[in-house]
């Protein structure tokens, strides 16, 4: 007997508002149907009414994790439309931030995979290491999430010797930790047992359904935009495309860990070979009529922006295809004939984008109506102060709120 079960759009096991309608035969999923659009914000339409420079910061806000991917994809597209050659030092710094973003995104994913697989200490470890990368990004760009580093013709901020030295110093630690994870992902029996064989996607299916990124590479297809269609300075940087042949969630984990190690090598190369000179060149405001198809290898896979200009300072059309959309068709294939309990793991394995970052809290004083902005550390100090005043030893103490 077959059942139809709806999961989402809001569900504790999913991190994104997406709705799955499943046809079940006992515990086994026979068919799955996705319904999207719960978070559709109309950014493509909005972009048509903004100038090219305003759109730099709009495209950045498409995603909360791979914000730099969207911004870079858009920037290099517009640079081609402007026929502008960016500053070489700027391109090196841009590539550096690309790779730092990949490191933080893959570490985040490893943590999520560990948590979905019931391996919570793995989650704690990787997210602690991710803070190191987030701190580096904060240090060189001033922001943890939306770095706003790109501008047409280069980047907005330079890197000095001290920053260079600090990044190189911390790389060793990250490298050591990642090798430990690679060892763990390949040998820890409970982790391997949970991930192996889950979410099978054959090579033929992955190609036919146009999957991208680690999902595709874990099915044994060595497609990587950084190699196939090099942008920024990837044609000068030595690195390898990482693949796996197991076609399952374990393969996707191994591919990501291997990519982390490659990313550290790229970062080291970029910092040691950082050219001298200006980090940006002046860009025109108006763009003549043309079109461009810009590709970028985001942490989740190929990211695509199609930009069409009409001679004014605003784009005629901006089409964005985020990697997660490209992987949805493959996800349905992965879910079929799997178990209900594997849904969070399979979904997490394509690494769907999650937006979450909160840096400051705005408080409304209930008595005076006064508003104040506090940093997290101030807030924590206030909370500690408050709890020190409460005497927990008394049994009849009233609930403080």
Please, which of residues 180-209 interact with another protein by CB under 8 A? 207-209
Q: How far is the CB of 207 from another protein (least distance, A)?
A: 5
Q: Is 3 in the site for another protein (CB under 8 A)?
A: no
Among 30, 144, 177, 227, interactor with another protein by CB under 8 A: 227
Residue count at the site for another protein (CB under 8 A)? Answer: 34
Could you tell me which stretch among 111-119, 169-177, 313-321, 359-367 binds another protein (CB under 8 A)? 313-321
Residue 247 in the binding site for another protein (CB under 8 A): no
Q: Is 165 or 319 the residue whose CB approaches another protein more closely?
A: 319
Q: Does 348 interact with another protein (rule: CB under 8 A)?
A: no
User: Residue by residue, what is the 3-state secondary structure of 256-310?
Assistant: HHHHHHHHHHHHHHHHHCCCCCCCECCCCCCCCCEEEEEEEEECCEEEEEEEEEC
Minimum distance from residue 45 beta carbon to another protein (Å): 6
Pick the binder of another protein from 317, 336, 354, 374 (CB under 8 A): 317
Indicate the burial class of 116 (C-beta count within 10 angstroms; 0-12, 13-18, 19 or more): buried
Name the residue nearer to another protein (CB basis): 45 or 386: 45
Q: For residue 394, what is the enclosing H or E element?
A: none
Q: Which of 100, 97, 39, 41 is nearest to 72 (CA)?
A: 97
* Residue 210 or 382 with smaller CB distance to another protein: 210
| Choices 88-96, 320-328, 350-358, 368-376; region in contact with another protein by CB under 8 A | 320-328
Q: Is 37 in the site for another protein (CB under 8 A)?
A: yes
CA distance 214 to 228: 15
Angle between helices 67-82 and 88-116 in degrees, nearest 10: 150
Exactly one of 1, 12, 40, 401 binds another protein (CB under 8 A); which one? Answer: 40
Which residues in 52-81 contact another protein (CB under 8 A)?
Answer: 80
Q: Characterize 235-251 residue by residue with b for buried, 16 or more Cβ atoms within 10 angstroms of its Cβ, and e for exposed.
A: eebebebbbbebbbbbb
Least Å distance between CB 299 and another protein? 17
Which one among 325, 357, 382, 390 touches another protein, defined by CB under 8 A?
A: 325
Q: Which stretch binds another protein (CB under 8 A): 8-16, 39-47, 164-172, 366-374?
A: 39-47
3-state secondary structure of 234: coil
- Residues 288-311 as b/e (b if ≥16 CB within 10 A, e otherwise) read eeeebebbbbbbbbbbbbebbbee
| 293 is a site residue for another protein (CB under 8 A) | yes
Tokens of 314: 């605003």
Q: Report if residue 329 touches another protein, rule: CB under 8 A.
A: yes
Q: Which stretch binds another protein (CB under 8 A): 116-124, 168-176, 327-335, 392-400?
A: 327-335
- The closest of 21, 53, 61 to 146, measured between CA atoms, is 61
Candidate segments 8-16, 98-106, 269-277, 316-324, binder of another protein by CB under 8 A:
316-324
- The binder of another protein chosen from 149, 304, 345, 349 (CB under 8 A): 304
Q: For residue 228, state whether it binds another protein (rule: CB under 8 A).
A: yes
Is 211 near another protein (CB under 8 A)? yes
Considering only CA atoms, which of 340, 320, 374 is closest in space to residue 77? 320
Question: Quick check: 41 binds another protein (CB under 8 A)?
Answer: no
Cα separation, 223 vs 62, in Å, equals 24
C-alpha to C-alpha distance for 275 and 88, rounded to whole angstroms: 7
Q: Are 318 and 47 in contact (CB under 8 A)?
A: yes
Stretch that binds another protein, among 131-139, 169-177, 194-202, 224-232 (CB under 8 A): 224-232
- Select the span of 8-16, 144-152, 222-230, 366-374 touching another protein (CB under 8 A): 222-230
Cα 105 from chain centre: 5
The overall longest dimension of the chain from CA atoms, in Å, is: 75
HSE-CB at 351 with a 13 A cutoff on CA atoms is 29
Question: Residue 16, interface with another protein (CB under 8 A)?
Answer: no
Interface with another protein by CB under 8 A: which residues?
Answer: 35-37, 40, 42, 44-45, 80, 207-212, 223, 227-229, 292-293, 295, 302, 304, 306, 308, 316-317, 319, 321, 325-326, 328-330
């Amino acid at each position: 007997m077959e059942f139809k079960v709806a999961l989402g759009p809001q569900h504790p096991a999913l991190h994104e508002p997406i709705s799955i309608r499943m046809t079940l035969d006992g515990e086994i999923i026979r068919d799955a149907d996705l319904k999207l659009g719960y978070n559709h914000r109309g950014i493509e339409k909005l972009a048509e009414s903004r100038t090219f420079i305003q759109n730099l910061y709009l495209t950045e806000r498409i995603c909360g994790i791979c914000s730099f991917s969207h911004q870079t994809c858009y920037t290099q597209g517009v640079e081609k439309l402007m026929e502008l050659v960016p500053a070489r030092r700027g391109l090196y710094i841009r590539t550096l931030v690309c790779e730092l973003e990949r490191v933080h995104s893959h570490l985040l994913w490893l943590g999520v995979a560990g948590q979905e697989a019931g391996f919570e200490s793995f989650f704690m470890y990787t997210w602690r290491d991710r803070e190191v990368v987030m701190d580096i990004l904060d240090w060189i760009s001033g922001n943890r999430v939306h770095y706003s580093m790109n501008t047409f013709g280069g980047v907005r901020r330079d890197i000095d010797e001290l920053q260079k030295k600090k990044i190189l110093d911390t790389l060793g630690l990250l490298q050591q930790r990642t090798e430990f994870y690679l060892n763990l992902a390949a040998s820890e029996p409970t982790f391997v047992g949970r991930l192996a064989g889950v979410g099978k996607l054959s090579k033929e299916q992955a190609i036919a359904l146009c999957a991208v990124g680690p999902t595709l590479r874990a099915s044994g297809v060595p497609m990587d935009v950084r190699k196939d269609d090099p942008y920024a300075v990837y044609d000068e940087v030595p690195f390898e495309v990482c693949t796996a042949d197991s076609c399952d969630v374990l393969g996707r984990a191994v591919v990501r860990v291997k990519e982390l190690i490659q990313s550290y090598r790229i970062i080291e190369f970029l910092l040691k070979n950082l050219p001298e000179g200006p980090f940006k060149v002046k860009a025109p405001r108006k763009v003549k009529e043309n079109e461009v198809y810009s590709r970028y290898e985001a942490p989740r896979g190929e990211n695509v922006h199609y930009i069409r200009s009409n001679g004014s300072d605003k784009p005629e059309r901006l089409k964005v295809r985020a990697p997660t959309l490209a992987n949805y068709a493959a996800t349905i294939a992965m879910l079929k004939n799997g178990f209900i309990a594997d849904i969070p793991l399979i979904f997490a394995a394509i690494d769907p984008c999650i937006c979450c970052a909160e840096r400051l809290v705005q408080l409304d004083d209930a008595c005076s109506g006064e508003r104040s902005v506090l940093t997290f550390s101030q807030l924590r100090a206030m909370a500690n102060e408050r709890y020190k005043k409460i005497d927990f030893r008394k049994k009849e103490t009233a609930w403080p709120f």
